[in-house]
A and B are shown apart, each in its own frame.
Chain A
């Protein structure tokens, strides 16, 4: 009998180890001390965002009038204006930090314990509408006109608007000014400059870009979109993405695939670069170029890199590489317990310039409100550069069919870059798999 007990103890030991490890990987949450200056109107609320324990979903506080879920980065800025909103209307508002808002919102809403408002990316929209977890948000035409048109377009699905945007992000070309004084305009120029630096021993490789063994559709898309009719989905007459018009293996997309294959052969792109080492390669000066987004700036700054930001280069035979635009926005839950207050907060507070500026300060992404963008761009060259790098970009598809694309398309580009398969045949295979997945979904 005692041996059985030992066995059970061993299994629980292993489980406990796994659990403690799980707790150990919890993300950093903002310290409460830093929030002292931001919560002037804290009389009616707790004043500091509620942090979850570990990676578990936050538990909805049943006693407040408005519950907002956001990630840790944005929580303080949201908290400040939530407090103001609370004081103005004589109510209580709680901002809770969710480590994985998309999944936790879906699960909590299913059982009636979701928040009233969430902060998230626009490409969740198709899935949220499909599951009827978000409600339309009706901005008046003159308020909507104050935003960047691409940002407003991203908040729409089937012509209906589902939220208010506050930031736009996209990838661009980061370069090390100490090694490369002027950013290259074309990919050929980039490669020759980079290879020269490698030959001179000033760098170890030409460029750092997130590819990984399973591929990354978001980073590979600009290569395809540089060519006419290249990309992932065609569009309907009204400009919406059409899930029935799959163009991942169109003539233009295959040309983009050929470029990926060529760059893979030249070791400019490698499946051994992924999210874990992409920044380190650029920040250790091993590569003079990196294709990345605003999230990489803080690390480059901390590493003391004299970086510059430029639009993505153009490809020979095609045009400029066009990145996807990602729009950050506020959604209102369709099962909101406090729908009126949620609508009021999202339609009346988020379009304010000071709110957009505060959210800019924590995320450093170009604000979606034109007025706020103009003010920031006048003083912050980085923001202007990111915005200009994304001028030609199109919003990431927010149709549910896009969920069927990420995996197969990403893997196809990884296989093309690693030389496992030719561009044409591999993209054909990916198109077949994606179409089958869409039909199944």
Chain B
């Protein structure tokens, strides 16, 4: 009885999944991404093959995980690696063709001493308002009326023409005037320019005005050159380093460049640029020190407090425990900002109460100390919680046995409690290390990576690799995603190398159990 129902549920789920994939594939096809459509199709066939048949039982369990791993782990890594081989960044976001059309379109200037027209957009009567050829019904400031289309400007017979007080034509025999929404729907209006005798064109501005403009830049496809005639003599621009550069003066170029592949240049820059290379090593060392010290300090403090509170003689434990969890319960972002205020050299509570004048956030050593202190405050309650939990699961009889065997308190701690505790919290320490290794929020809120030395303000003395990469990609001098992607790939490789021994160690801890 249950088998047909289970079978039905199975097929409903398979079909639902395939329908989902089909929907995604349709979206991807609409976006014109052929490779992605093919991959979606292969995934769909794979799902059908695995779940519709009785074979491949292990795969039935693994496929969802594999798909999500490919989607959220593998794809971003490959995408980043791919990006790191380009110059993608500010000024290099678009294609070369687009840079040409943008430069030409943006060089359009109003021809001096030409009138501003009042304008209505219309089609010939009988033509469709959505697809018919567009005409512009124009009124000069002197009241004379014209009709313009892509062939040119002709006078419009004033008979039967109705106008608003400012001169916008509202009715003209033989034409149907479009309303605001209809005009807006005509995307071809943007490229419409009514040619004029001097080589310019009458172009609309919004719904009711038109001006005579002329583009000063032209493109010669054969020579691959842009020529700007607004200067005397005309300036010629050639493509160089993904930009249009003046052939006569290389310091002049158009701001609109394009994206192109640049091979391994980003990686060679990391390896050969002296400030980046030395800075990278410096940041990496501090990054490891920060993560290790943060984990050890928070763990030691958390464990000591947990041991203290595990003593049955202590009263009011519930209250103390709740209070100690508070720093963890408060949003870390708020706490970090409060600590930033407390570390202020002149106005901060730390220097004021201790009578010190330490420049916490302005010196190399001070900033690092401030970060470690703040992270200790933020991190110890977590360690306290997990240690308390782990300690309570250690059976009392083991400790009693140790006492009977004559072990003192320290010996019991070292030989009995610690090994049992570490089995439980060891993996958590590794997780904490991984979290702190990329603890972006703390650094960013407390020091923004600073203080910065005079030589290069792109590398701060409290920067982690992640804040460094972020500054390169998003907030630095000129956002350069390609280079930031290359840095991210290097960070990924470093972290991957470092986690190998980590995972080995985790396995060793599990074998104790």
Contact = CB atoms under 8 A, between A and B. Distances in A.
B102 A132 contact: yes
Contact of B213 (A138, A272, A339, A421): A138
Interface string B208-235: 1101010000000000000000100000
Given A343-B206, A440-B478, A272 B345 contact: yes
A21 interface: yes
B346 A126 contact: no
B428 interface: yes
Contacts of B116: 140
B431 A140 contact: no
B457 A140 contact: no
Interface string A92-109: 000000000001000000
Given A159-B109, A160-B109, A140 B427 contact: no
A126 to B, nearest CB: 7
Most buried by B among A130, A160, A345: A130
Interface in B422-459: 423-424, 427-428, 430-432, 434-435, 441, 447-448, 450-452, 454-458
B94 to A, nearest CB: 6
A21 B333 contact: yes
A304 interface: no
Contacts of A234: none
B382 interface: yes
A18 B435 CA distance: 11
A160 B331 CA distance: 47
Contacts of B456: 433
B428 A344 contact: no
B256 interface: yes
B401 interface: no
B191 to A, nearest CB: 11
B107 interface: yes
Interface string B56-95: 0000000000000000000000000000000000110110
A25 interface: yes
B209 to A, nearest CB: 7
Interface string A262-303: 000000001111001100010000000000000000000000
Nearest to B337: A276
A346 B296 CA distance: 58
Contacts of A339: 187, 189-190
Most buried by A among B108, B184, B328, B427: B184
A348 B346 CA distance: 52
Contacts of B431: 7, 10-11
A160 B457 contact: no
B332 interface: yes
Contacts of B230: 159
B466 to A, nearest CB: 13
A404 B91 CA distance: 14
A415 interface: yes
Contact of B362 (A25, A418, A430): A418
Interface in A339-355: 339-341, 343-348
Interface in A405-430: 406-408, 411-412, 415, 418, 420-421, 426, 429-430
Given A132-B98, A340-B204, A343-B205, A244 B251 contact: yes
Contacts of A199: none
Interface of B: 90-91, 93-94, 98-99, 102, 105-110, 116, 179-181, 183-184, 186-187, 189-190, 203-209, 211, 213, 230, 251, 255-257, 328, 331-334, 337, 340-341, 344-347, 359, 361-362, 382, 386, 423-424, 427-428, 430-432, 434-435, 441, 447-448, 450-452, 454-458, 474, 476-478, 480, 510, 513
Interface of A: 3-4, 6-7, 10-11, 14, 17-18, 20-22, 24-25, 65, 89-91, 103, 110, 126-127, 129-132, 135-136, 138, 140-141, 158-160, 213-214, 244, 270-273, 276-277, 281, 334, 338-341, 343-348, 400, 403-404, 406-408, 411-412, 415, 418, 420-421, 426, 429-430, 433, 437, 440-441
Closest 10 CB pairs of A and B: A344-B206, A21-B331, A441-B478, A89-B180, A343-B206, A404-B477, A130-B255, A272-B346, A21-B333, A130-B91
18 contacts: A7-B427, A7-B431, A21-B333, A21-B441, A25-B333, A89-B180, A91-B181, A131-B94, A136-B106, A138-B203, A160-B109, A214-B450, A214-B451, A400-B90, A403-B478, A404-B477, A406-B477, A441-B477
Given A21-B331, A103-B474, A341-B206, 8 more contacts: A65-B184, A132-B102, A338-B184, A347-B205, A348-B208, A403-B477, A408-B457, A408-B477
